[in-house]
Amino acid sequence: MPTGYTSPVQDGTCTRFDDFTWRCARAFGAMIMQRDDSLSEGVQLTEEVSSYHEESLAEAQKEYLRLRKMRQSARLRFSAVQFAATLKNGVESARENQEQHLRYSTMLGKVASWEPPTPDHAGLKTFMVEQLTESIEFDCSHTFGLDEIQAAMDGDPLMFHTKALESAKWSIGYHEEKLVEEHERIGGRNQWKQDLLGSVGPPPQVKA
């Protein structure tokens, strides 16, 4: 039985060695991103490094410098604004938590009081209870630690600025590392394809 790679050989549309080789090459790591592409689109011999990590690195460096250059008064204002936003979000989340818990609990009470019409329906009731119980545990068991945040701010009024600076520094290191990995990965893929190109010749069609 022919495969997706051998069916063109079976029906006679693929008779050239280089054509068959480039078709099969799409199953390998260097070309795996092109595996599902239509052959009519051609083979992409050279990949470019995504701009994501480069752009993210630039943003993180910019943010780190901005935070570092802040004077003490600006750092205090920054922390105060972030604390207010965190407090607001925490209060809103806590309220939403309570409302969800009430809705789940109300439905759970209805399920608990329901008498299945036959023994064959008992499993349905058990399943309904399990679903609601799991949802309560997952959605309504969060603690927001607002008192702890307030205490921390009382002890360190620059807490949020410090955390933001640490976060920006971490992002710089993360995106620097990923950018190096991306260059190595794309470079390896391109080299693999160039080596295959030198061995079997170009594919029937090359993607621009």
Q: How far apart are CA 36 and CA 145, in angstroms?
A: 48
Q: Tokens 């083979």 sit at which residue?
A: 43
Across the range 182-187, mean pLDDT stands at: 94
The answer on pLDDT for 176 being more than 90 is yes
Model pLDDT, residue 130: 96
CA-CA-CA-CA dihedral for 13, 18, 20, 24, to nearest 10: -150
DSSP3 helix / strand / coil % (the chain, rounded to 5)? 75, 0, 25
Question: 25-77: per-residue pLDDT in tens?
Answer: 888 888 877 777 766 677 788 889 999 999 999 999 999 999 999 999 999 99
Alpha carbons 187 and 183: distance in angstroms, whole number: 6
Tokens of 108: 């759970």
Is the pLDDT at 208 greater than 60? The verdict is no
Check pLDDT > 60 for residue 163. Answer: yes
Amino acid at 187: G
Predicted local confidence at residue 39, as pLDDT: 64
| Mean pLDDT (the chain, rounded) | 89
What's the average model confidence in pLDDT over 114-122? 95
Most confident of 58-67, 90-99, 155-164: 58-67
Q: Place 92 in a pLDDT band, splitting at 50, 70 and 90.
A: confident
